[in-house]
Structure 1
Amino acid sequence: MDEKNLNKDTVLGQAALAKYTEQAVPDYKGNPLIEALPDIFSEEELFDVLSSYPLYDEDERKLPPHIRYHCVMRITRYFQPRLKHFDLESRLSTAIRQGYIARNPLGKNYAMLLQQGYQMIKNKKYPEIFNPEVLTSASGFTMIGISGIGKTKAIEHVLAPYPKLIVHSEYNGQPLNLYQIPWLKLDCPHDGSLKALCINFFTKIDELLGTNYYEKFGTSRGVSTDILIPRMAQLASLHCIGVLIIDEIQHLSLPKSGGAEKMLNFFVSLVNTIGIPVVLVGTYKARPILQAAFRQARRGSGQQGDLTWDILDNDEEWDILIDGMMRYQWTKEIIPLSKELKNTLYEESQGIVDIAIKLFIMGQLKAISTGIEKVSSELIRKIAKENLRLVKPMLEALKSGNTLEIAKYDDIRPTDIDLQRFFENNSPLAQWDAIKSLKMNQEKQKLGEQRSAKEQALMQLLQLEVDEDLALIALEKVLSSSKNEMSVSEIVKASLKLIMDIQEKKSEQSDAKKVKPKVTLEKVKPEEPTLCIIVDKGRENKKSAYEPTVR
């Protein structure tokens, strides 16, 4: 299957054509699904893959405040791998590959699995265990931690090297037309049902492949999860899903799911039936169901156990994280990492990396915008007090170390910290009162300049004994129609031309009506010269029509 034959609706930006690599592990050899995956990383390679260190140049500290303000936001891309990231990568890497062993598309199991799934759906007979031989090679686990601690981000970092879709066309000279989905991540709908979770599975595959599985399987009235799970298993086999990750389990509603027992049975059935590794991710609130599901699932020794994603302790690992972050300082005064500052960041964040990074960012933004140009422990504490109010109850619960207290604040997340609003409110260019004042002054100045030019032009027109009402009308039209700034002389000239045009049109209209004015030049009083007399005098002196009028 070449790139030209890809479904136009397939997400091409997330797809990769299969490239096969010889495997060192005997169990993995001759399996195109495994050989098409990225290499198994060593610790050194994995560190390079996971870590993210933004660009930094000390000369940037010499830039103006409003420029440095943007530089500080670069810290959001800083990522220092923890030891747990290596554990997580190892678990997922193993789960994906082990799950593919019994699903080699070149072997008999693959075709048998598809046929069994087809017959199961057709006859509406769903065995308790889908395919024991396939299940023994699949290994999943649970991942548990407080809300917002970085579980999802960790999974996404670890799985980033894996394409979301791999397209196979041939293997060792033999045709092999299939789509491979190395990993699929589902987010439980907030306050959703188990059925909604299943439907999410079909829509995710549709997004990747441009298919219509949701319309085919998910829109039937009265369809239950008992019917949907086997269909999910069939698609998992057909499209070679490596691992299914179900995140935010705690969002599922017990009442909408039929109670805790039904929810537990659902996950047991899912793990047993779908035939691929399943990773369940949630907070401590969902821990009983997550653990019970895997205890009852018939996987024997295939499970990898729980992975608890705890907050960091104030130890060497915390030191490495903060030390790396302290390299990114755009204040005029660079401060070294002191024990006091390190402890302050830990105390105010309780070891939650996301909060610590945001506090350091906000500290620099505040220091730059106020002219302090220095981050201190006192400043960090002040910012934490003013900006961490939403997550304060959770942080206090973490300080207590009481799991029951922590569970009370399960829905509070460090992501509730509005870094963007802090950026806007403290930017050197975002002092709204100053901006309004500056804008008003500019408008007043511009209005004053316009008024001054208009008044000067009016004075000159009146000195030429032009009718005041006519002069004002002409000035308004000239100034309103001008796109560029005009000098007083240019305004007067344009106004006189407009007045002459007006008078000429009036004269033509009078001629058309055969009503000619009986006014002659001789009857005009010398002290009240008309515009025509002024122009005639100019001609006598060999001047243009405008020159005699401008003084």
Structure 2
Amino acid sequence: MAKSSHRRTDHAEDRDVFRCVHAVDAIYHQEGLLPEHASNHLVSCLGPYWTDKDIAKKVGVSIGFDESERERSKEYRMHAVARLGELVVSLPAHLDVVHTIHRIIREHYAHESILDNGLDAVRDRYRLNSSSGQLQAVYEHRRSHAYCAAFFGYSGAGKTTAVESALRLLPWVVRHPQYGVMQVVRIKIDCPRSASLKDTLKLLLETYDDLLDTHYVEELSSRATLADYANKVHRVARRHHTGVIVLDEIQNALNAAAGADPLFDFFVNLTNLVGVPIVVCGTPRAERLFRTTLRLARRVSSQGVTVWRGIHDATDWNRLCDELSKYQWLTNSKPLSAAERKYLWSLTQGLPGVAIPLYQLSQYAAIASGRERLSCRLFKSVFDEKMRSLKPILRAIRSGRKVDMMRYDDILGDTLKEVVADMKAEAQHNLFYDALSRHDRIEVSIDAVSSLIVAGIPREIAEKMVDLVQKEFPSATRAELCHEVSLRYYSTRESLLKTKDARKDKEAEVETIA
């Protein structure tokens, strides 16, 4: 009875798989591919080998902008500046990441078969051994483990953005209707804070369920053991021909490694038994993990270890600044000068994840203050006020001392998230008070016009003169507006507001001298 129920679950699961919203129907590309890739549907469905020029165009993410937007309202421009949070500038390092990940996936699939895992060929070679009397290898040669790679770097250096940009060029799931196969090309998870193996495996299964509209987690009982989860992940990864598993935030696993948690042994075994490539991403502290887990270090070294420490090449930094210069919503916009570019690098140590938010915050400040232009002084003022929590971290990076950098390694990413969140909140705060101030000015203007009409000044003239005076003296009260308009209309006495402003300027001058 239980077996029958299980079979119904499998059939229902198959129907769910074919309803997967993330899937695309396979299109097999053969032109220009290696023979072993062109004849393998798991590889040929990934498309052609893309050139560096093609990749550079698609890895970067541009944002909407039109020069006419610089003339729009404060509110409009404040919201437009928020677009900078989506900006990704393609750099040469991105190309290396794309090539590495795509090569790993294709080489992995080159040894896989979508048909029957090569069983027919195995049987043919076995029969040939018996009938011909000549020795034939029953099984083809294949690597003992899958390819792996690692990308380490400071939070904000761009490693996760680069990896996600590489993954964006590939589909999540490819449907092969004629073979009844749903191929999961890529799957990515952030290593849980607890970093226990069971939590990580459950998260992997949940991600498969989200992608495929399956119910793999539900199929395990609440009392499922670690072995149950491990076996389930092995079967699911094999069944769906998984191309690569990306583990981000791998530094969260340091405690697990110290506590002899079997997390890393499992993923080493995953590359051995299932042959699924693993890509790990983390902060520099994660290097400690590879000193304590030598087998995984050897696996990862098969495709190289890339360390991101921000942008240090002058050409790359100028490319980033050129892109940033395009996106200014200030009425006094101008490209970033050489001095501003150099100072921006000094403040952020070439970390795009710090430089772009600082550039964004500075535009908020320029719009809110009415300065409407960027400068080194504004960058420093905004950095000191809004990013002061990053100072000790960036000072440690600037020093180059590993001990100091490790001390702040865990908090840099969280601090950056807080800065961005505060930045968005402050933008809304500024918009609220700006709107409130404009509302108050409108109320004052209406009251002043009403009083002036009663005093005998024609409505049209009163409205124009109140508008003119209010632009010159935005904080003027109703009484001050009425007095100033009356003076100008009747031209009888000196302006009270100009006299008041002159008095303030003189008092400020005296204070400065003192």
TM-score using structure 1 length: 0.68
Residue 107 of structure 1, CA deviation: 5.2
The within-5 A match list for 1:129-144 is 135-136=143-144, 138-144=146-152
2:504 is matched with: none
Structure 2 counterpart of 1:356: 355
Q: Does 2:111 match 1:102?
A: yes
CA distance in 2, matches of 1:275, 1:132: 15
- Alpha-carbon distance in structure 1 between the residues aligned to 2:219 and 2:352: 43
Contact 2:149–2:301 (Cα < 8 Å) also in 1: no
Which one has the bigger helix percentage?
Answer: 2
Alpha-carbon distance, 1:326 to partner: 0.6
Q: Is the 8 A contact 2:322 2:335 kept in 1?
A: no
Hey, what does 1:280 align to over in structure 2? 280
Distance 1:294 1:21, change over 3 A: farther
Q: Distance in 2 between matches of 1:234 and 1:112?
A: 23
Q: Residues of 2 paired with 1:415 and 1:215: CA distance? A: 33
SS in 1 for 2:326: coil
> Is the 8 Å Cα contact of residues 185 and 241 (structure 2) preserved in structure 1?
yes
2:314 aligns with 315
CA deviation digits over 1:120-166, x for unaligned, max 9?
xxxxxxxxxxx996544731111111234332222111111211111
Correspondent of 1:44 among 48, 53, 63 = 53
For the residue of structure 2 that corresponds to 1:281, the secondary structure is: strand
> Cα–Cα, structure 1 residues 218 and 101, in superposed 2: closer, same or farther, change >3 Å?
farther
The number of aligned residues is 413
RMSD of Structure 2 on Structure 1 (CA):
3.1
- Note if 1:14 corresponds to 2:15: no
Q: CA deviation at 1:327?
A: 1.4
1:381 has 2:385 as partner: no
Tell me what 1:205 maps to. Answer: 208
Matched, 1:156 2:164: yes
In the TM superposition, what are the counterparts of 1:481-496 in structure 2 within 5 Å?
A: none
* Deviation, structure 1 residue 358: 1.2
Instruction: Measure, in 1, the Cα distance between the counterparts of 2:192 and 2:366.
Output: 40
- Measure how far apart 1:102 and its partner are: 1.5
Which AA in structure 2 matches 1:425?
A: H
Match for residue 422 of structure 1? 426
In 2, Cα distance between equivalents of 1:211 and 1:111:
30
Match of 2:482 in 1: none
2:146–2:272 contact (8 Å) kept in structure 1: no
Deviation at 1:298, TM superposition (A): 7.7
Aligned-pair CA distance for 1:422: 2.7
Alpha-carbon displacement from aligned partner over 1:438-493 (angstroms, at most 9, x marks no partner):
79x69x98xx9xxxxxxxxxxxxxxxxxxxxxxxxxxxxxxxxxxxxxxxxxxxxx
User: Does 1:185 find its partner at 2:188?
Assistant: yes
- Match of residue 533 from structure 1: none
Deviations 1:200-251 (A, max 9, x none): 1111111112222112247334x12x55334322211100110011111112
Structure 1 distance, partners of 2:19, 2:165, is 20
One-letter identity of the residue aligned with 2:337: S
CA contact (8 A) 1:362 1:422 kept: no
How far, CA to CA, are the matches of 1:186 and 1:179 in structure 2? 20
SS of residue in 2 equivalent to 1:368: helix
CA shift for structure 1 position 15 = 1.4
SS at match of 1:202: helix
Partners of 1:10 and 1:208 within 8 A in 2: no
Output the CA distance in 1 between the equivalents of 2:338 and 2:298: 50
Question: Which letter maps to 2:93?
Answer: K
**Preserved contact between residue 186 and residue 246 of structure 1 (Cα < 8 Å):** yes
Counting only pairs closer than 5 Å after superposition, residues 44-443 of structure 1 correspond to structure 2 as 44-106=53-115, 108-109=117-118, 135-136=143-144, 138-170=146-178, 176-217=179-220, 219-221=222-224, 223-224=225-226, 226-252=227-253, 254=255, 259-260=259-260, 262-290=262-290, 293=293, 295=295, 303-313=302-312, 315-412=314-411, 413=413, 414-417=416-419, 418=421, 419-427=423-431, 429-431=432-434, 434=437
- How far does residue 112 in structure 1 lie from its aligned partner after superposition? 11
Question: Separation in 1 of the partners of 2:284 and 2:404?
Answer: 11
Q: 1:219–1:65: structure 2 CA closer, same or farther, 3 Å change rule?
A: same
Against the structure 1 CA distance between its residues 110 and 306, is the aligned structure 2 distance closer, same or farther, given a 3 Å change threshold?
A: farther
Q: Larger radius of gyration, structure 1 or 2?
A: 1
The secondary structure found in structure 2 opposite 1:308 is strand
Deviations 1:373-414 (A, max 9, x none): 111110010000111133222111111111221111122222
SS of corresponding position for 1:362 = helix
SS at match of 1:67: helix
SS of 2:409's partner is: coil
Q: Which residue of 1 is the match for residue 467 of structure 2?
A: none
Q: CA deviation at 1:278?
A: 0.7
1:229·1:270 contact (CA, 8 Å) conserved in 2? no
Distance verdict in 2 for CA 1:177–1:11, change over 3 Å: closer
Change (3 A) 1:241 1:38: same
Change (3 A) 1:146 1:33: same
CA distance in 2 between partners of 1:187 and 1:331 (Å): 38
Corresponding residue SS for 1:430: helix
1:69-124 residue CA offsets vs partner (Å, 9 max, x unmatched): 222223223221121110000011011111111211235447999xxxxxxxxxxx
- The percent of aligned pairs where both chains have the same amino acid is 27
Q: Distance in 1 between matches of 2:322 and 2:187?
A: 35
Distance 1:311 1:373, change over 3 A: same
Cα distance, 1:258 vs structure 2: 6.9
Structure 1 residue 309, shift from structure 2 partner: 1.9
- Seen in structure 2, the aligned counterparts of structure 1 residues 101 and 398 have a Cα distance that, compared at 3 Å, is same
- What amino acid sits opposite 2:72 in the alignment? L
1:32 to partner: Cα distance: 0.9
1:32 aligns with 2:41: yes
Q: CA deviation at 1:432?
A: 7.5
> C-alpha offsets along residues 323-349 of structure 1, whole Å, 9 cap, x if unaligned?
121111121112232121001211121
User: Cα gap change, 1:375/1:297 in structure 2, threshold over 3 Å: closer, same or farther?
Assistant: closer
When residues 49 and 313 of structure 1 are mapped into structure 2, their CA distance, relative to the original with a 3 A threshold, is: same
**CA 1:298–1:253: 2 relative to 1, 3 Å:** closer
Return the alpha-carbon distance in structure 1 between the equivalents of residues 23 and 94 of structure 2. 25
Unaligned runs of 5+ residues in structure 1 are: 114-130, 171-175, 449-551
Report what 1:512 is aligned to: none
Residues 426-505 of structure 1 aligned to structure 2 (within 5 Å): 426-427=430-431, 429-431=432-434, 434=437
Aligned to 2:466: none
Which 5+ residue runs of structure 2 have no aligned equivalent? 1-12, 123-138, 451-514
Aligned-partner Cα distance in 1 for 2:274–2:184: 15
SS in 1 for 2:151: strand
Cα shift at 1:12? 4.2
The answer on whether the counterparts of 1:73 and 1:361 sit within 8 Å (CA) in structure 2 is yes
**Equivalent-residue separation in structure 2 for 1:110 and 1:306 (angstroms):** 36
Q: Greater shift after overlay, 196-205 or 54-63?
A: 54-63
- Secondary structure at the residue paired with 1:155? helix
Going from structure 1 to structure 2, the CA distance change for 1:48 and 1:406 (only over 3 Å counts) comes to same
Q: Structure 2 counterpart of 1:157, which letter? A: S
Q: Is the alpha carbon distance of 1:134 and 1:185 closer, same or farther for their aligned partners in structure 2, counting shifts above 3 Å?
A: farther
- The verdict on how the C-alpha distance between 1:437 and 1:270 changes in structure 2, with shifts beyond 3 A counting, is same
Q: Give the conservation status (yes or no) of the 8 Å contact 1:29–1:35.
A: yes
2:348 and 2:264 mapped to 1: Cα distance? 34
